[in-house]
A and B are shown apart, each in its own frame.
Chain A
């Protein structure tokens, strides 16, 4: 099992240092400490284990260190920044692992950009040596790239010429979309092994600055402090410590404090139940800060994030994920109100942003997503987003005979409008109702109202509503039908249908780059015994099938 939980004292590959408002996140990969046997992480190359630590560090910098206003990403190795994903690891990995690995690394790079843009914790990369492939992509995810000018340090994306694959972590897209490198220059850059350095790298906008080695560290520090000065993050606030999650895995059951996962292996279905708070919200912002990691919205989000990563990585045969909620929905509103009313407080802002990223992770999860809304559920506000994130959502209309639990209701809040954009920069409701924007306005007027099954169905908020007589059977029929289909076709279909509307850099990275990469990862030119990934480092030239597809 791959565990996504870690903490700085357990890091094998990263180091955190602090200098007032500036943090130094130093990559110093321990070549021996690999996630799986069979390869060594030389030259600051990485595997999923390295990235799990990076993700943890990025999260902690946001939550545990409100005083940190800029972060310098640098290398602990001489003349090497980062060599990218480990090629031997990729050569040995299953296709599914490669895909999951790339998806997670992409999400982590997006979260770095989210920190720069929305948390006002700007990332700078101090490229002290070779930044190749995924190494340069890591730099591309930061807000500002400073390249040492020592006559040898380069940035490069040599995947096409060397490995017959693509830079898989947003490199191509970010070069033209984010750094706006001219397409023919980008074409040159991406098709040469040696990459670019010095003034040319600056002229082509591949980096922001090229700096002599003698003054490199000093300039980096200056720049980091200058960025920090522009941040609105507080200097004197107390961070929230990410205490270890209380997670129990017992056979087909995974339990957190606020989340239950039940796995039905023969049906290949996991049911994820998210629980409402049991206590009323703290009276004020100070109370929320005092609760820290136990503050319900944050606690639930952390557990949900971990649960999603666990299911994705460790339960690949579970093709369908059902979302349910349980508990007293009326308590949720007060929590949401604290967040909404104090959205400029650094912690409340972080929690909102964390939910935004986690819901995007839901969108990116290559499982059939079904949300079931039953009596006893609490689909209020942020939890109601799961209805709109799902491929199908079904609501039980009315009560269950012989059970006096009141009928299920949905209640929308500001979180369903503007606060939780998807990667296409639209809200889930805007995406859902792309062809009928007036419906979005109509349901917006219903914020705070209870909407029952029949009404929700009429409004189009759910796929369908069934009464208790039909409920079990029709849900079962859908699930049975679904698990019979090809998982590949389903993944492709769902990914195509989920993201209606405009493209953004993020949608391009996941929808275009990743899709092509996943195709290339399957092709003999890359992965056959005489393909480039397999032969890399052996000295033998790969032989390609030269038919264009």
Chain B
């Protein structure tokens, strides 16, 4: 692909084995560490990356610049030959620490010794999620509804791979031998593996079908966006710069999710209209049309939202407070918040269950930074749901997708011990369990989805259950050969 990268665009050094804008060729130590890690990464990718398409040529976007427009080139490339590298947002001269105890001090260019282990833990946890999602999605290529979607899946996958690189860069550059061990461990854990699972629960869940993939990229990658945004505020400048660049890539993933769900919804409504079905709950009739009924979409949504909310950790958390106080992890859009950014006397109202009621209680704001982040997330995520509902309404179907109540199906935090319906009603365990599969997909739903999802590899063709996209990638037409499957051992 190198000949396709126009020389005048390049600010990333592609001459090195590892593309980078961190002057890798003059950093012997880092270079050695990364060059030792790279073959293991490639092995991991071949072992755990997209199954069956390693030899296919995929029309991928490769970043060649790190400004907000994200200069990039597109070309067909075999995924194991993708140019993963180390890309950081440009350094802002004179950047300061914007919150916590060290507010106003110059941002750190080296890890402050007293926060080394805290920072290392934050980076390892963030880093662990990146390869996990690739692992979760590795079989999806086999049921891709189109070459366009397959290409988007692989684009998301290679970029999650690159995000792993970004975290590995920080570990290897700033945390010595221990950091290198952490980097190695990131390749050893496996999503869903009983003996060496990924660190966070949601990343050990299956992504069994494409509806899950779209829900995941919309809802769970949005958690990624919130976490990266909070880390982009970090007083540790290299982490901030790394995360700022990752955010530009994360946006595309959420686009894949939002437009994916949207196209599923559109096709369902279209098929219902064509068949004259007005009752969205006539599930059997709708399914016979070869599309996904709206209540099943709602169940999937309930599942993905609830497990993703767990990723934010306990709403009231001393770890969260420590990371904020230390200036390592801020709040969402920290610098746009109008307060003192230190929170010593500030309070924050946290939702919780008290005496069988869901109420707000006041907590020290410092301890409630996780609560704030998950509430911000819920607001942020609601936007896409609104747009999907607009589409449903426009198509004339009487149905609303809803964000489940934040207490629904939670394993972590304030609601972990309670049984709460998606509407936010507290019920007893027996009641909840009896209705569990009204809320969440049951075996039959999953089986239906599994059978529905047959691959569609013909150029310009789309599976029965999903509409064609409005526009192609990089202004290419819908029937463009986004993935040249030949040569794959599919």
Contact = CB atoms under 8 A, between A and B. Distances in A.
Q: Are chains A and B native binding partners rather than an unrelated pairing?
A: yes
Interface of A: 401, 464, 466, 469-470, 473-474, 477-478, 480-481, 483-484
Given A483-B113, A484-B113, A484-B114, A477 B175 contact: yes
Contacts of B176: 470, 473-474, 477-478
Interface in B174-222: 175-178
A478 B114 CA distance: 11
Contacts of A470: 29, 176-177
B177 A474 contact: yes
A464 B181 CA distance: 14
A484 B177 CA distance: 19
A466 B113 contact: no
Residue among B29, B32, B113 having the largest count of chain A Cβ atoms under 10 Å: B113
> Interface residues of A: mostly helix, strand, loop or mixed?
helix
Given A481-B113, A484-B114, 11 more contacts: A464-B177, A470-B29, A470-B176, A470-B177, A474-B177, A477-B175, A477-B176, A481-B116, A481-B117, A484-B113, A484-B116
Contacts of B175: 477
Contacts of B28: 401, 469
Contacts of B177: 464, 466, 470, 474
A481 B177 CA distance: 14
A478 B32 CA distance: 20
Nearest to B29: A469
A464 B28 CA distance: 20
B172 to A, nearest CB: 10
B29 A480 contact: no
5 cross-chain pairs, A with B, having the tightest CB-CB distances, nearest first: A480-B113, A484-B114, A474-B176, A477-B176, A484-B113
Contacts of A466: 177
B25 to A, nearest CB: 14
A473 to B, nearest CB: 6
Nearest to B115: A484
Contacts of A480: 113, 116
B120 to A, nearest CB: 11
A478 B177 CA distance: 10
A477 B29 contact: no
B315 to A, nearest CB: 30
Contacts of B117: 481
Interface in B68-117: 113-114, 116-117
A469 B117 CA distance: 22
B32 A477 contact: no
A474 to B, nearest CB: 4
B36 to A, nearest CB: 11
27 contacts: A401-B28, A464-B177, A466-B177, A469-B28, A469-B29, A469-B32, A470-B29, A470-B176, A470-B177, A473-B29, A473-B176, A474-B176, A474-B177, A477-B116, A477-B175, A477-B176, A477-B178, A478-B176, A480-B113, A480-B116, A481-B113, A481-B116, A481-B117, A483-B113, A484-B113, A484-B114, A484-B116
Interface string B158-178: 000000000000000001111
A481 B29 CA distance: 20
A470 B114 CA distance: 21
A469 B176 CA distance: 11
A480 B29 CA distance: 19
Interface string B11-30: 00000000000000000110
A218 to B, nearest CB: 66
Contacts of A478: 176
A481 B111 CA distance: 10
A482 to B, nearest CB: 8
Nearest to B27: A469
Interface in B203-252: none
B236 to A, nearest CB: 14
Contacts of A477: 116, 175-176, 178
A83 B50 CA distance: 83
A466 B113 CA distance: 20
The residue among B28, B32, B114, B176 with the most chain A CB atoms within 10 A of its own CB is: B176
B27 to A, nearest CB: 10
Contacts of A469: 28-29, 32
A478 B117 CA distance: 12
A473 B29 CA distance: 9
A484 B111 CA distance: 12
A473 B27 CA distance: 12
A398 to B, nearest CB: 13
Contacts of A401: 28
A470 B181 CA distance: 13
B173 to A, nearest CB: 9
A401 B31 CA distance: 15
B118 to A, nearest CB: 11
Kindly name the residue among B28, B29, B114, B116 whose own CB sees the greatest number of chain A CB atoms within 10 A: B29
